[in-house]
Amino acid sequence: MQPMVSMKSYDKKIVNLAIPNILSNLSVPILGAVDTAIIGRLDELYYLGAIAVGSLVFDFIFWGFGFLRMGTTGLVAQALGVSNHQMTRNLLLRGVLFGSLLGCALVALQNPIAHWSLVIISPSEEVVFYATEYIKIRIWAAPATLLLYGLNGWFLGMQNAKIPMIITIVLNLINLALNILFVVVLDWKVAGIALGSVIASYLALFLALSIFFQFYAKYWESGWSGEWRNRAFWEPSTWKEWLGINRDIFIRTLCLIFAYAYFTTTSARAEDLVLATNAILLQFWHISSYGIDGFAYAAESLSGIYWGKKNTDAFKQIVKKTMQWGLGLGLSLSALFYFGFEPLFMLFTNTSAVVEQARYVMLYTVIAPIINSVCFIWDGIYMGTSKTKPLRNTMLIATFLIYVPLHLLIAPYTGIHAIWIAMIIFMIARGILLSIIAPRYFSIKCS
């Protein structure tokens, strides 16, 4: 007999997980804006260009390895649902081991990463010089950053969103303080921004480990050495499952990276005005996604634990409730973008030509939060239950059979609207495809 839970209880659980995630997510773009303001005070524009290019390189690298968080949360939640504490320990250790190896590999490959990234982007000589400096310093943060991905994913799987929020906000505050010290006071310019990120990452990792051992010491009564020697940790079948899930999420994430890169590249091929306008409008997409992702993370954590418990009724309520919350926030953001579009847009620029161009295509930014919320919440549900193959396959279909072909087909007839129409249809396709196949994966009777 499955216990009855009130509707308000589900809402409370969702909000308690979503709000800390939203707050920690929003601290990221705020830090980026402050960094831009700090480096923008320097005399030469190529400093700002170097930070922009260098940050783009790491956005792609770290976004690509985001499976260390996303692949951990659902599995940990499922293990927690059946009180399998040994599995929760094993999953954390796997994340720590894999994150450490990948981080060290990135440090070892810093020269080819810097060289080929800048060859592809092809900025000016001055930007290349300082961007190379930035990349070769900040790459040393990779081990700490990837370890934090694994730890934060584990905390979320354990139904604790407050610890990742604290870690993220502290990391960003330390980073901000160091950037002011290194750039404004010591005048270390681009190198100061990069060094601040490195130091902040390791201090945040130290904080995360301290909190972990303070609140979750009971999970390690046998000690670290005992877990490494445990045969269950090295069981090939569980490693195969774990690596398969992370592979699927990695491919899915690469498709998403490709979609945004294609959007930016296509905009750049049009003209500078289109590129500048679309780059700013895309920030609205990112900001709204930071908010809606808070509920997607909640969906990931809660769907995982109820799926692990085989509590069908609670699982279905989580799907329903998180979708409602995601759509509600999406609708609110769409209303905000519609009624406050011009003053919000002018926070980024007051250039009349760019503002006028933005008015011409603003509709796509206004409707995006509502449309995107559906596929974002489904992402959380599928990841929380470790159904990553359909997540991977639908993303491949949406990207390479719908998004790119549609843009190529309509571009000659719709001009600058083509890339926006293709992007909107891409998001709609993701939501529809995941909705269509959901009964196949989630209508199983879990008695």
**Are 144 and 103 a contacting pair, CB within 8 Å?**
yes
Which pLDDT does position 385 carry in this prediction?
A: 94
Reported as a pLDDT band with limits 50, 70 and 90, residue 446 is very low
For residues 397 and 90, the model is more confident at 397
Reported as a pLDDT band with limits 50, 70 and 90, residue 34 is low
Which pLDDT does position 423 carry in this prediction?
A: 96
Which pLDDT does position 439 carry in this prediction?
A: 92
Which pLDDT does position 28 carry in this prediction?
A: 67
pLDDT for 223 beyond 60: no
Which pLDDT does position 347 carry in this prediction?
A: 77
Q: And the tokens for 351?
A: 């250039």
Which pLDDT does position 57 carry in this prediction?
A: 83
**Are 331 and 104 a contacting pair, CB within 8 Å?**
no
What is the average pLDDT across 59-84? 88
pLDDT for 36 beyond 80: no
Mean pLDDT rounded to a whole number for the chain: 87
Residue 21: closest CA among 149, 175, 168, 231: 168
**Are 51 and 39 a contacting pair, CB within 8 Å?**
yes
Which pLDDT does position 220 carry in this prediction?
A: 64
Reported as a pLDDT band with limits 50, 70 and 90, residue 352 is confident
For residues 213 and 328, the model is more confident at 328
Lowest mean pLDDT among 217-231, 376-390, 430-444: 217-231
What is the average pLDDT across 188-200? 92
Which pLDDT does position 37 carry in this prediction?
A: 67
Q: Residues, the chain, total?
A: 447
Q: How far is CA 311 from CA 5, 54, 296, 305, 425, in A?
A: 11, 46, 20, 9, 34
Which pLDDT does position 7 carry in this prediction?
A: 65
Q: And the tokens for 120?
A: 């592809």
Which pLDDT does position 1 carry in this prediction?
A: 44
pLDDT for 246 beyond 70: yes
Rounded Cα gap, residues 208 and 299, in angstroms: 23
Rounded Cα gap, residues 18 and 162, in angstroms: 10
| Per-residue exposure over 83-117, b if at least 16 CB sit within 10 Å of its own CB, e if not | eeeebbbbbbbbbbebbeebbeebeeebeebbeeb
Query: pLDDT, tens digit, for every residue of 399-431?
Result: 999 999 999 999 999 888 999 999 999 999 999
Which pLDDT does position 262 carry in this prediction?
A: 87
Rounded Cα gap, residues 29 and 50, in angstroms: 18
Q: How far is CA 171 from CA 47, 191, 192, in A?
A: 23, 18, 16
Lowest mean pLDDT among 327-341, 352-366, 392-406, 415-429: 352-366
Reported as a pLDDT band with limits 50, 70 and 90, residue 280 is confident
Domain positions in the chain are 1-12+248-447, 40-234
What is the average pLDDT across 306-327? 93
Long-range contacts of residues 142-145, Cβ cutoff 8 Å, at least 24 apart:
142/61, 142/102, 142/103, 142/104, 142/106, 142/107, 143/99, 143/100, 143/103, 143/104, 143/106, 143/107, 144/103, 144/198, 144/201, 144/202, 144/204, 144/205, 145/62, 145/103, 145/201
**Are 121 and 53 a contacting pair, CB within 8 Å?**
yes
Reported as a pLDDT band with limits 50, 70 and 90, residue 248 is very high
Instruction: Give the distance from CA 272 to its chain's centroid.
Output: 28
Rounded Cα gap, residues 133 and 138, in angstroms: 9
For residues 357 and 447, the model is more confident at 357
